[in-house]
Amino acid sequence: MRSVTVVAANFMPQAKVISRTQGFKSLPLAEYPGIVAFDSDEVFVEKMANVVVDRIVEGLASPIEVAPAAAAPKPRDVVFTGDFDAVQDHFHQNLWTDGLPIAPPTIQRVEEFLRFTDRSPDEVIGTLLPEKREATVWNVAVNGVMAGCRPEYMPILLGIAEVMAEPHWRIEDAGATPGWEPLVIVNGPIVKELDFNYGAGAMRVGRQANSSIGRFARLYMRNIAGLLPGTTDKGTIAYTFNVALAEDEDAIAKVGWKPFGVERGFAPGESVVTVQSVMSISPPIYVGGGATEIAQRIVEAWGEGDVKYWSQTGIMFRQWHPLLVLTPCIAEALAKEGWSKDDLKRYLYENTKTPAWFVEGGAERLRPQPVPVHGSIDLRQLVEAGEIPKHYALSDDMMRMVPVFFRPETIGIVVAGDAGRNQCKGYTQNHQQGPPISKQLKLPADWKELLSEARERQAKGSGSERCKSISH
């Protein structure tokens, strides 16, 4: 059956790339001129009738040509030889970098990474959209080298790739216009073994494990999934990569709370990596006083800010996982009054509310002067279908207050940062795009011995390798 896809003008480059990844030179596309959100209903109808319909007819009459698959370099293929600067230029020109200098992925460097896994270099982890490239143990190592990681980070890098290969993670949506970024969260003994920073400046670049692993996540999405700004990545303004977040499990143990990894279903003492999307980050939230005062300040500063604004998407897709990062002294103040992570989640859920019309308005709120009428979401229909809790439709009053957070258990809480400061930050996740998925890290059988060797080499310092044989 023939079809034509109607595409807004600004999305045409993305549509053409997606067409190619589906195996066609160009699927029939009908371009809608301009930006729909700024067009009145009358202008929209006029454009559809006088422009788009003709393009639909033209597309239906056009032949569909199959595009031959492009040949890709194989593992161990040398794609370039040159000095350091020449390597940088070549990788940049081929769009294989994030704009920052990369460590040249020589065969020798890649093989050093492979020592830190018992998995075969040829093992296929999964296929990443939109480019439909296979994620393999080999190309994880290659991109780990490029990102400036140490070889011993390999188990975490593989865990990240495993998350991204999960269909439920929806990597194909990572180029969405909100411009979300992956956030890597690390728990367990490996936090100290690999020298992660979980104290002051926990989310600041500066510690190699945090910085390079965070960079790897974005670089892997670019090079293997094929998410390139301006085409397959439509992040409108966006921001740069997050560094990896490691939880302060010493502080967690002190207050008797569960580490984030345990909350994700893993046993205490297991090393776990979690990856989720982050669309926006709150300002620093300073709190004080007792537990209720602390929780209420978080409601006011985070819950009634970007969380409230983005709440309709969480309810629309019935999936949403905002994340709150608390410093240890806040956790101590809460625990002193007997509060657990679950108690804080419940308070945020019960006390952060918004009028029903604000949620139901959905996309209609993009237009001026929203009015309290049913929009793109009908809460009553969702309740009747059993997809959201009953209290979202206790009446038909569009001014009734409904919860902003979808469910209390979907709020994540991690303890990290400067133990001497009473600050927290909220990270708003992008509904069903990039939900948190956790993987237990698969360490090689001789992990302890390999780690000891790596530490000895770092202590002694190793000689630099001449850049001449580059593998991609």
Q: At residue 409, does pLDDT exceed 90? A: yes
What is the band of 362 on the pLDDT scale with cuts at 50, 70, 90? low
Q: What backbone torsions phi and psi does residue 392 show, to the nearest 5 degrees?
A: -80, -10
Same-domain pairing of 49 and 197:
no
Tell me how far apart the alpha carbons of residues 461 and 121 are, in angstroms, rounded to a whole number. Answer: 27
DSSP 3-state of 248? coil
Is 272 part of a structural domain of the chain? yes
Same-domain pairing of 14 and 128:
no
Which tokens sit at 139?
């190309």
Same-domain pairing of 164 and 244:
yes
Is 375 part of a structural domain of the chain? no
Q: At residue 365, does pLDDT exceed 60? A: no
Q: What is the pLDDT of residue 398?
A: 86
Same-domain pairing of 116 and 249:
yes
What DSSP character marks residue 369?
S
Q: Tell me: the pLDDT tens digits for 120-161?
A: 999 999 999 999 999 999 999 999 999 999 999 999 999 999
Higher pLDDT, 402 or 294: 294
Same-domain pairing of 41 and 129:
no
Is 449 part of a structural domain of the chain? no
Interior/surface letters 15-39, b for 16+ CB within 10 angstroms, e for the rest: bbbbbbbeeeeebbbbbbeeeeeeb
Tell me how far apart the alpha carbons of residues 420 and 358 are, in angstroms, rounded to a whole number. Answer: 38
Same-domain pairing of 16 and 142:
no
Same-domain pairing of 154 and 221:
yes
Q: What is the pLDDT of residue 154?
A: 98
Contacts of 215 (CB under 8 A, 6+ apart): 98, 100, 147, 148, 241
Q: Tell me: the pLDDT tens digits for 204-224?
A: 999 999 999 999 999 999 999
Q: What is the mean pLDDT of residues 285-304?
A: 95
Higher pLDDT, 310 or 429: 429
Final residue before a domain boundary, out of 36, 61, 86: 61
Q: What is the pLDDT of residue 373?
A: 46
Q: What is the pLDDT of residue 458?
A: 84
Q: At residue 366, does pLDDT exceed 50? A: no
What is the band of 385 on the pLDDT scale with cuts at 50, 70, 90? confident
Q: What is the mean pLDDT of residues 422-440?
A: 94
Q: At residue 467, does pLDDT exceed 70? A: no
Is 458 part of a structural domain of the chain? no
Is 463 part of a structural domain of the chain? no
What is the band of 471 on the pLDDT scale with cuts at 50, 70, 90? low
Q: What is the mean pLDDT of residues 78-84?
A: 91
Q: At residue 367, does pLDDT exceed 80? A: no
DSSP 3-state of 8? strand
Q: What is the pLDDT of residue 317?
A: 78
Tell me how far apart the alpha carbons of residues 387 and 372 are, in angstroms, rounded to a whole number. Answer: 22
Q: At residue 228, does pLDDT exceed 50? A: yes
Final residue before a domain boundary, out of 61, 89, 107: 61
Q: What is the pLDDT of residue 310?
A: 82
Among 261, 148, 270, 132, smallest CA distance to 206 is for 148
Q: What is the pLDDT of residue 153?
A: 98
Among 223, 191, 230, 222, smallest CA distance to 416 is for 191
Q: What is the mean pLDDT of residues 171-184?
A: 92
* Domain range for 28: 5-61
Q: Tell me: the pLDDT tens digits for 256-277?
A: 999 999 999 999 999 999 999 9
Tell me how far apart the alpha carbons of residues 213 and 152 are, in angstroms, rounded to a whole number. Answer: 11
CA 13 to chain centre: 23
Same-domain pairing of 40 and 100:
no
Same-domain pairing of 332 and 422:
yes
The percent of the chain in helix, strand and coil, each rounded to the nearest 5, is 45, 15, 40
Same-domain pairing of 211 and 332:
yes
What is the band of 70 on the pLDDT scale with cuts at 50, 70, 90? low
Q: At residue 69, does pLDDT exceed 90? A: no
What is the band of 16 on the pLDDT scale with cuts at 50, 70, 90? confident
Q: What is the pLDDT of residue 184?
A: 98
Q: What is the pLDDT of residue 24?
A: 76
Is 307 part of a structural domain of the chain? yes
Q: What is the mean pLDDT of residues 187-201?
A: 97
Same-domain pairing of 30 and 92:
no
Task: Report the percentage of the chain scoring pLDDT > 70.
Answer: 94
Q: At residue 436, does pLDDT exceed 90? A: yes
Q: What is the pLDDT of residue 370?
A: 46
Is 393 part of a structural domain of the chain? no
Higher pLDDT, 54 or 471: 54
Which tokens sit at 379?
């809460």
Q: What is the pLDDT of residue 376?
A: 65
Same-domain pairing of 179 and 292:
yes
Q: What is the mean pLDDT of residues 388-416?
A: 89
The pLDDT mean for the chain works out to 89
Higher pLDDT, 17 or 202: 202
Total domains in the chain come to 2
Is 379 part of a structural domain of the chain? no
